[in-house]
Structure 1
Amino acid sequence: MTRYALFETAIGFAGIAWNDAGLVACHLPEREKDTARRSFLRRFPDAVEAPPPASLSPTIEGVQALMRGEKADLTDAPLDLSRTPQFHARVYEIARAIPPGETLTYGQIAEKLGDKLLARDVGQALGKNPWPIVVPCHRVTAAGGKPGGFSARGGVDTKLKLLAMEGAAVVTPKAVAQGDLFA
């Protein structure tokens, strides 16, 4: 059974979904709680809203800290990888090791996987990341410090805002307002 919980952050309502094996999804903050709720129910129509277990409190607190612009380590958040292709799991493991405020390029992750020609595959795996923030795909950029893509609502602007909140240096096409994913 999939359960989910919504929680307030400094910039809106975020959420997590879990089962007995661990997290199955995370949701970036939305201005409205109902928007986040509808998102989970689209992805998991049979999910039940429930209080999160104590074991997920550090994950929630870490997401809240990151949304306040603080450094937080979410590498211990339990993920249910049972439906994740092995290549994606390897990409996610590398991405999870990128500290707040730092970035790696798609090519650097590809090299860590043993083949720099896998950069496009890395991008595709990150585009299917069900755990944004916990698996910080926003910390993966294109070559030359350019942002690259981002599949979450708001696209690259959201990615740039998350990176700005963390103090990461990226090439931006325009100034990014810190702390407001909804601008």
Structure 2
Amino acid sequence: MRSAEPRAATPARGSVRAGRENAAVTAYTMFDTPLGWCALAWNDRGLVAVELPGGDRAGTEAHLRGRIADPVPTEPGGPVADAVRRIARLLGGERDDLRDIPVDPTGIPEFHRRAYEFIRTVPPGETTTYGEVARAVGAPGSAQAVGQAMGANPYPVVVPCHRVLGAGGKVGGFSAGAGAATKLRMLGIEGAAPGGQPSLFD
């Protein structure tokens, strides 16, 4: 079993050093976790993207680079290095809600922002449903819209969309990593594995 302490990839020559990026530059780093290789992208406003393992290191990196325009491989420092360590430890079974890690909401629709803010209050080991999120953000009956917001979540784990289930404990959809299998594995690590079969919306 992999250690929960992350092993970061060496940045490419000429990459931006942590602390020197700005809003025009998106930096990224690769790091190994008990779940596999992950990637994190950020700018000076916060995290821009989190990529969960969907295969090997190269596949994870390629997927991230397909989502972000011209990201620069960067050795993380300060708060970003701390975020890397905390994500790896969470995926190794330690309890941490990651709620204080800042994310950059630029370009995120208002409804999605409200849904993300709510699910960040759901701690490891607990779950909610698409319908409950809809009611919490003042849009009862909008479970399908919540499901779409979860599917578009650029920061999985930090914004824990894996803790949102369908009605009756159905797994629901998951667009990150290897899909529903990754969602189930993450919930199992947190001690919250549900019953039922995958279904996109409640």
Task: Find the residue that maps to 1:13 and give its secondary structure.
Answer: strand
Counting matched residue pairs gives 174
> Would you say 1:161 and 2:199 are equivalent positions?
no
Matches within 5 A, 1:45-56: 45-56=69-80
What is the CA-CA distance between 1:37 and the residue it aligns to? 1.5
Tell me which amino acid in the other structure corresponds to 1:5: T
Task: Find the residue that maps to 1:16 and give its secondary structure.
Answer: strand
Asked whether the 8 Å contact 2:97–2:120 carries over to 1, the reply is: no
CA distance in 2, matches of 1:42, 1:31: 15
Matches within 5 A, 1:97-112: 97-112=121-136
> Would you say 1:126 and 2:141 are equivalent positions?
no
Alignment-derived partner of residue 34 in structure 1: 58
Deviations 1:6-60 (A, max 9, x none): 1111221111101111110001135522222211211124111001131112311
What is the CA-CA distance between 1:173 and the residue it aligns to? 4.6
Task: Find the residue that maps to 2:60 and give its secondary structure.
Answer: helix
What is the aligned-residue RMSD (CA, Å)?
Answer: 1.6
Tell me which amino acid in the other structure corresponds to 1:157: A
Task: Find the residue that maps to 1:17 and give its secondary structure.
Answer: strand
- Structure 1 alignment gaps of length 5 or more: 175-183
- Structure 2 alignment gaps of length 5 or more: 1-24
> Would you say 1:95 and 2:119 are equivalent positions?
yes
Bigger CA drift: 27-36 or 75-84?
Answer: 27-36
The alignment's TM-score, normalised by the length of structure 2, stands at: 0.81
Higher helix share: 1
Whichever of the two has the greater Rg, that structure is 2
CA distance in 2, matches of 1:12, 1:49: 19
Task: Find the residue that maps to 1:29 and give its secondary structure.
Answer: coil
Bigger CA drift: 151-160 or 95-104?
Answer: 151-160
What is the CA-CA distance between 1:172 and the residue it aligns to? 4.2
CA distance in 2, matches of 1:150, 1:38: 19
The alignment's TM-score, normalised by the length of structure 1, stands at: 0.89
Asked whether the 8 Å contact 2:168–2:196 carries over to 1, the reply is: no
